[in-house]
Amino acid sequence: MPSLWRPTAQIVESGAYRANVEDDTPLQDSGSDTGPARRPPKWLVSAEARGGAGCPGPGVYAGTVRIDIVTIFPEFFGVLDVSLLGKARQSGLIDVAVHDLRDFTHDRHRTVDDTPYGGGPGMVMRPEPWGEALDAVLASERMPGAGTLASAAMPAPSHERMPGAGDPVVVFPSPAGTPFTQATAAELAQEQHLVFACGRYEGIDQRVVEYAATRGRVREISLGDYVLNGGEVAAMAMVEAITRLVPGMIGNPDSLDEESHEGGLLEYPSYTKPAEWRGLEVPPVLLSGNHAAIAAWRRDQQLERTRRVRPDLLPE
């Protein structure tokens, strides 16, 4: 690839890497014990979102949201390419990288799980690969005040810092977490760096969550009261809900529109042309041109629908 076209950061053969500007060296060797190097799918890297040729690296543009996803199934996240990255890349506002947890193992079988202490069914994800993966994705974190005169002073080592506003948010999708809502999505859409740690098996060694809390602001978040095979599908849903709310996103619905979903009512039913289709008619009020009547009808529909299917959303 001609250097002019080289992205400022790229995913390397080991699966996923976001290198800093000018640095495409993997932070960790995936090891030669894993057979021939695999070519990363093109969606693993979002060069456009990182600024493209000749542009500064991620985090340079105000408003860029960085999202790292750590998983043993990086291929799962190919669908993000279709659902959001196309738009997000064009806007340059969202920078997503997917990382294979197994790239942070050192044994020939790339082991990520083991039997639970204390006994019981299933397997638990071992802490070591998670520690290395989290260190890697958090390594290029820009310190508060970076690039200013104040940054000349040595920052405190991260293990002595208490994570606070501006530090990365580490999300552990888990049925044991707090419920994910539109309000959660709106909050997370304001962050600069989100890390999704997708667990599998019976879960991740709890010390990983403890450790992550020393490096970032940890959120254990549930998509709903059901059990999935892993955090991937939950993470994907969260990423989609969050990214569509990122300020400046192309096609970003305006905030007034969004507000009707936040602690509000369900949507009213929508119709478009033709006015009659297979014997089914559009409610005449919508064709009346009477804007007050239309607004009243829509409100009424919202209330009726909410009472019927989601009474829990209504006060008392």
Minimal distance, residue 203 CB to ligand JF5, in Å: 4
Nearer to ligand JF5, 116 or 175 (CB): 175
Q: Name the residue with the smallest CB distance to ligand JF5.
A: 199
* 231 belongs to the binding site for ligand JF5 (CB under 6 A): yes
By CB under 6 A, is residue 222 in contact with ligand JF5? Answer: yes
Per DSSP bridges, beta strands 276-277 and 280-281 are antiparallel
174 binds ligand JF5 (CB under 6 A): yes
Among 55, 143, 228, 282, binds ligand JF5 (CB under 6 A): 228
The two three-digit tokens of residue 75, written as one number: 């291929």
Question: Residue 204 CB, nearest distance to ligand JF5 (Å)?
Answer: 7
Describe the crossing of helices 206-215 and 127-139 by its angle, rounded to 10 degrees: 20
Minimum CB distance to ligand JF5 smaller for 63 or for 224: 224
Residue with Cβ nearer ligand JF5 (58 or 199): 199
Out of 230, 236, 265, 266, the residue judged to bind ligand JF5 by CB under 6 A: 230
Q: Which of 7, 59, 168, 199 forms a contact with ligand JF5 (CB under 6 A)?
A: 199
With respect to ligand JF5, which residue has the nearer C-beta, 129 or 203? 203
Task: Give least dist CB 38 to ligand JF5, A.
Answer: 25
- Taking the least distance from each CB to ligand JF5, the nearer of 190 and 206 is 206
User: How far is the C-alpha of 52 from the C-alpha of 261, rounded, in Å?
Assistant: 36
Q: Beta 124-125 vs 113-114: how paired, if at all?
A: antiparallel
Q: Which stretch binds ligand JF5 (CB under 6 A): 90-98, 140-148, 228-236, 250-258?
A: 228-236
Is there binding between residue 129 and ligand JF5 (CB under 6 A)? no
* Binding test (CB under 6 A) with ligand JF5, winner from 224, 247, 253, 269: 224
80 vs 124, beta carbon nearer ligand JF5: 124
Torsion-angle region of 29 (φ positive above 0: left; ψ -120 to 50: alpha; else: beta): beta
Q: What is the C-alpha to C-alpha distance for residues 51 and 122, in angstroms, rounded to an integer? A: 43
Cβ closest to ligand JF5, residue 65 vs residue 223: 223
Number of residues forming the site for ligand JF5 (CB under 6 A): 14
* Torsion sign across C-alpha atoms 54, 56, 62, 68: positive
Residue type, 67: I
Of 36-44, 108-116, 131-139, 229-237, which part binds ligand JF5 (CB under 6 A)?
229-237
Q: What is the 3 state secondary structure string of 246-298?
A: CCCCCCCCCHHHHHCCCCCCCCCCCCCCCCEECCEECCHHHHCCCHHHHHHHH
Q: State the residues that interact with ligand JF5 by CB under 6 A.
A: 173-175, 199, 203, 222-224, 226-228, 230-231, 234
